[in-house]
């Protein structure tokens, strides 16, 4: 390890790191404070003498209670979790198979197909959502979670495919050849030898896909109508804005609580996530 002096450590490490952390986490602190601040303080003028924007002496759980009682927030959490999990599963499945095929197998149009999958990532959702509404109708999936579960993979599969493709490319081919000579089928070699090695990559891709599904807004807005089937971003925005009043306390409470499941998933898997890209990202 390279030796550093103490002051250097402070200037070049601790201070910048602290600044980063403050910058990144301050909005969360803000959300938290707003969520527990009573209404009377929320709407006080900025020049008011008693203004204490950074803390409150009368924290209240009113907003959180209101959020959980008056809206179907727990239901939305469940919906979003279900949709995100299943679409991640589908995308990983497709991405795994496609990634292996593109990385390992030789067949005509491999290059073209790889590029084509890549190109689909470039198509903007603002263009797609209207024609998609038609297709969703034809399959009679309107207002069901399946409308989202089948459309989310459109922006998840390309990413999963590339990530896993890169992964597979760096696994030595000898591994499979060895297994096949040992009597395994190509399919068996793929499933039993290669895929287990790719688990960190699968986890990385999965976490990323989960996050993107959780955050998606416009498809969820357009394809789901019943309040009990909404996802968290759509539900919070549509139920907590009434005419020209934003219920800031509840909105921020919703924002925080709505991130908890994803944060939990990350806390379990962040090491895998980093490891999945780690020791593995090569040119």
Distance CA 212, CA 204 (A): 13
What values do phi and psi take at 18, rounded to 5? -65, -45
Q: Which residue among 78, 82, 121, 146 contacts other proteins (CB under 8 A)? A: 121
| CA distance readout (Å), 122 to 125, 153, 268 | 9, 14, 31
Per CB under 8 A, the list member of 73, 81, 100, 272 interacting with other proteins is: 100
- For other proteins, the binding residue among 22, 61, 170, 192 (CB under 8 A) is 170
Options 61-69, 71-79, 229-237: segment touching other proteins (CB under 8 A):
229-237
CA pair distance 180, 65, nearest whole angstrom: 60
- Binding range to other proteins, per CB under 8 A, among 60-68, 71-79, 114-122: 114-122
Q: Cβ 195 to other proteins, closest distance in Å?
A: 11
Task: Report the nearest approach of other proteins to the CB of residue 85 (Å).
Answer: 15
Whether the Cβ atoms of residue 171 and residue 197 lie closer than 8 Å to each other: yes
Query: Contacting other proteins (CB under 8 A), which of 10, 13, 65, 192?
Result: 13
- Would you count residue 7 as binding other proteins (CB under 8 A)? no
DSSP classification of residue 194: I
Residue 57 contacts other proteins per CB under 8 A: no
Q: Which parts of 17-36 interact with other proteins (CB under 8 A)?
A: 17, 20-21, 23-25, 27-28, 30-31, 34
Separation between Cα atoms, residue 117 and residue 156, nearest integer Å: 11
Residue 130 binds other proteins (CB under 8 A): yes
User: Residue 215 half-sphere exposure, CB side, CA atoms within 13 Å?
Assistant: 9
Strand partners, 152: none
71 phi and psi, to 5 degrees?
-105, 175
Contact with other proteins (CB under 8 A) among 10, 59, 192, 238 = 238
């Amino acid at each position: 390890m390279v030796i550093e002096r103490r002051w250097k450590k402070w200037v070049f490490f601790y201070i910048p790191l602290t600044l980063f952390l403050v910058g990144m986490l301050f909005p969360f602190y803000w959300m938290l404070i707003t969520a527990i601040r009573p209404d009377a303080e929320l709407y006080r003028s900025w020049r008011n003498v008693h203004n204490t924007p950074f803390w409150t002496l009368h924290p209240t759980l009113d907003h959180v209670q209101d959020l959980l009682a008056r809206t179907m927030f727990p239901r939305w959490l469940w919906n979003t979790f279900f949709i995100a999990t299943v679409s991640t599963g589908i995308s990983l499945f497709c991405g795994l198979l496609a990634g292996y095929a593109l990385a390992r197998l030789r067949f005509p149009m491999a290059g073209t197909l790889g590029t084509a999958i890549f190109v689909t990532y470039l198509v903007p959702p603002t263009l797609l959502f209207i024609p998609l509404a038609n297709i969703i109708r034809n399959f009679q999936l309107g207002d069901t979670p399946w409308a989202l579960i089948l459309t989310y993979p459109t922006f998840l599969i390309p990413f999963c495919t590339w990530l896993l493709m890169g992964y597979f490319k760096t696994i030595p081919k000898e591994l499979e050849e060895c297994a096949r000579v040992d009597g395994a089928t190509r399919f068996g070699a793929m499933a039993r030898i290669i895929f287990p090695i790719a688990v960190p990559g699968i986890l990385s891709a999965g976490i990323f896909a989960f996050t993107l599904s959780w955050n998606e807004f416009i498809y969820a807005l357009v394809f789901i109508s019943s309040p009990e089937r909404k996802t968290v971003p759509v539900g919070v925005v549509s139920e907590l804005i009434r005419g020209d009043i934003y219920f800031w306390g509840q909105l921020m409470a919703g924002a925080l609580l709505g991130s908890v499941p994803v944060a939990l998933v990350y806390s379990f898997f962040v090491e895998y996530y980093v490891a999945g890209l780690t020791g593995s990202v090569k040119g």
